[in-house]
């Protein structure tokens, strides 16, 4: 290759890199930042704010592609696209707001498209938004900001759909998440909430604020009077502050490691559902929609579908989750499948995923079994016949029934392989006297021969469904899952092994 060929190739590479920067710039604006933002400016006499769209942002940062090109054109980048995206995120700084909605909040229709002065004498519904904009600009140096009450045109269903499904990503891409705890005056007040000495700030009880707590890389908490709970000179981001994060860990039951750095995904389902179990949403559907980002699943938004939204969320989770503990729940079942819980409140407190050691690390028979055998059915699936799942099924004898108010009763069951009677509070319609009952163990050890076993060597009890069957209703009757007030736990008297039974529930 002569010198002219080298120059030509160099120019081609140079043009390709310039084009790549432009493409990533356009893609980032369209996909990674909110549809609309609040632009905060200073005219020398104070702060102004107005609502802008992505086109404004693109024009505002139009020189950025050239700056990035000049910065990287002479560098040998292993992941050029990834590095360019990182640089985009550093440049497109915006603050994002997390707060408890009040009765009156500025809406999209209220927002000015021409600069509006930040001033104290405006009507009350603007004061919180103005304080947020002031903190974003003055405390954190952001000239763009986003607030859910006024940056989404909720009259457009397509925009609302995109916003809800993108929310986790928008919070994660933000430079800083500013949290306003309207019921917490200072760090001492948060300390009292942690110890149970006073009512928990309502921010910790709302569904949407769960992802707003976990998603952002940087977060800053402000109290009732808009003073930071931890001074800015101590930490610009409270994510790194053990002082506040340990208190939030106590209030929310979210482990410190997740508060410090959370990774979304379809893992640890019971634990993540527990985080949401004490939170409320005004719209029934939102308890599912606010978990989309936390589990990193995609879900169509359809307000009006009611609790079916949570069933659809569980469907999506179960497509990618293969552990038995997704069924570790009790209480009311979904209207659409008896093996699916009604909402996150069905999951119990205190469950910890079993640590699987390697064979040579096992210290006892329980750990050796867990290292050598699978736990439960990992091929379960929702089908048009219901949940298909393999269980270790034990027929049980009903010993005693004691009715309780509110359409429930205590049932006492016995089986020779249990070292205790199983007492269950059964909820729902009462079953006929000739009903056949069974206990379906979910977290048995499964061996390669198609059998499952339970053993008394296990320190924790085994988990099970309560099943019933009434053959008098139909000769081809099949097992059905019953609702119980508590998760059923059993302890075997000895080693019990049997062929697994495939059920459709």
Q: Which residue ranges of the chain lie beneath pLDDT 70?
A: 1-14, 77, 118-122, 350, 474
What is the b/e burial string over 172-196, where b = at least 16 CB atoms within 10 angstroms of the residue's CB? bbbbbbbbbbbbbeebebbbebbee
Q: What pLDDT shows up at residue 313?
A: 97
What is the b/e burial string over 83-111, where b = at least 16 CB atoms within 10 angstroms of the residue's CB? bbbebbbeebbbbbbbbbeeeebbebeeb
Check if the beta carbon of residue 200 is closer than 8 Å to that of residue 155: no
Task: Give every CB contact of residue 201 below 8 A, 6+ residues apart in sequence.
Answer: 181, 182, 183, 184, 190, 193
Closest among 326, 312, 315, 267 to 294, alpha carbons compared = 267
Residue located via tokens 């109290």: 223
Q: What pLDDT shows up at residue 5?
A: 45
Helix (H, G, I), strand (E, B) or coil at 193: helix
Check if the beta carbon of residue 345 is closer than 8 Å to that of residue 330: no
**Residue 124 tokens, joined:** 């009350």
Q: What pLDDT shows up at residue 119?
A: 65
Q: Residue 455's Cα: distance from chain center in Å? A: 35
d(CA 47, CA 144): 12
What is the b/e burial string over 343-377, where b = at least 16 CB atoms within 10 angstroms of the residue's CB? bbbbbbeebeeeeeeeeeebeeebbebbeeebbbb
Q: Residue 415's Cα: distance from chain center in Å? A: 39
Check if the beta carbon of residue 28 is closer than 8 Å to that of residue 65: no
d(CA 212, CA 494): 48
Task: Give every CB contact of residue 303 below 8 A, 6+ residues apart in sequence.
Answer: 283, 285
Domain ranges of the chain: 269-346, 359-504
d(CA 231, CA 78): 40
Burial class of residue 46 (count of CB atoms within 10 Å of its CB; 0-12, 13-18, 19+): exposed
Long-range contacts of 366-371 (CB under 8 A, 24+ apart): 366/455, 366/457, 366/458, 366/459, 369/445, 369/455, 369/457, 369/458, 370/445
Q: What pLDDT shows up at residue 165?
A: 94
**Residue 419: how many CB atoms within 10 A of its CB?**
11
Check if the beta carbon of residue 271 is closer than 8 Å to that of residue 350: no
Residue located via tokens 């499952």: 452
pTM of the model: 0.90
Q: What is the pLDDT of residues 344-390, one digit of tens each?
A: 999 987 677 777 778 777 778 888 888 888 899 999 999 999 999 99
């Amino acid at each position: 290759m002569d010198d002219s060929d080298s120059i030509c190739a160099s120019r081609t590479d140079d043009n390709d890199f310039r084009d790549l920067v432009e493409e990533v710039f356009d893609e980032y604006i369209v996909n990674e930042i909110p549809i609309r933002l609040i632009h905060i400016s200073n005219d020398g006499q104070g702060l102004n704010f107005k609502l802008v769209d992505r086109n404004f942002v693109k024009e505002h940062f139009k020189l950025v592609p050239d700056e990035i090109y000049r910065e990287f054109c002479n560098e040998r980048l292993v992941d050029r696209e990834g590095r360019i995206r990182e640089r985009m995120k550093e440049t497109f700084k915006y603050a994002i707001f997390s707060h408890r909605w009040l009765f009156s909040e500025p809406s999209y229709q209220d927002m000015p498209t021409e600069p509006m002065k930040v001033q104290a004498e405006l009507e009350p519904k603007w004061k919180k938004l103005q304080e947020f904009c002031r903190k974003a600009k003055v405390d954190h140096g952001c000239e763009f900001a986003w607030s859910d009450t006024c940056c989404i045109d909720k009259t457009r269903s397509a925009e609302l759909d995109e916003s809800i499904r993108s929310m986790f990503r928008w919070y994660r891409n933000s430079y800083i998440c500013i949290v306003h705890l309207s019921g917490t005056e200072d760090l001492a007040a948060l300390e009292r909430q942690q110890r149970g000495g006073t009512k928990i700030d309502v921010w910790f009880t709302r569904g949407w604020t769960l992802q707003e707590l976990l998603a952002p890389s940087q977060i800053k908490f402000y109290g009732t009077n808009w003073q930071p709970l931890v001074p800015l000179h101590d930490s610009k981001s409270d994510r790194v502050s053990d002082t506040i994060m340990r208190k939030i860990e106590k209030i929310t039951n979210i482990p410190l490691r997740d508060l410090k750095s959370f990774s979304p995904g379809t893992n640890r389902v019971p634990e993540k559902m527990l985080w949401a179990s004490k939170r409320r949403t005004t719209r029934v559907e939102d308890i599912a929609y606010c978990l989309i980002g936390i589990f990193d699943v995609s879900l169509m938004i359809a307000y009006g579908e009611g609790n079916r939204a949570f069933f659809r969320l569980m469907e999506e989770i179960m497509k990618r989750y293969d552990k038995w503990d997704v069924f570790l729940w009790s209480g009311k079942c979904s209207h659409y499948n008896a093996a699916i819980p009604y909402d996150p409140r069905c999951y119990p407190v205190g469950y910890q995923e079993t640590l699987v050691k390697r064979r040579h690390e096992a210290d006892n028979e329980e750990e050796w079994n867990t290292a050598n055998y699978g736990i439960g059915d990992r091929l379960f699936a929702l089908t048009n016949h219901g949940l298909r799942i393999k269980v270790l099924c034990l027929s049980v004898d009903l010993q005693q029934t004691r009715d309780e108010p509110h359409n429930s009763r205590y049932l006492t069951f016995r089986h020779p392989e249990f070292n205790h009677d199983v007492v269950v509070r059964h909820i729902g319609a009462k079953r006929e006297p000739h009903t056949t009952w069974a206990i379906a163990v979910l977290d048995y050890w499964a061996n390669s021969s198609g059998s499952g076993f339970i053993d008394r060597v296990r320190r924790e009890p085994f988990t099970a469904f309560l099943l019933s069957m009434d053959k008098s209703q139909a000769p081809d009757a099949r097992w059905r899952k019953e609702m119980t007030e508590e998760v059923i736990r059993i302890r075997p008297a000895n080693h019990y092994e049997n062929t697994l039974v495939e059920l459709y529930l």
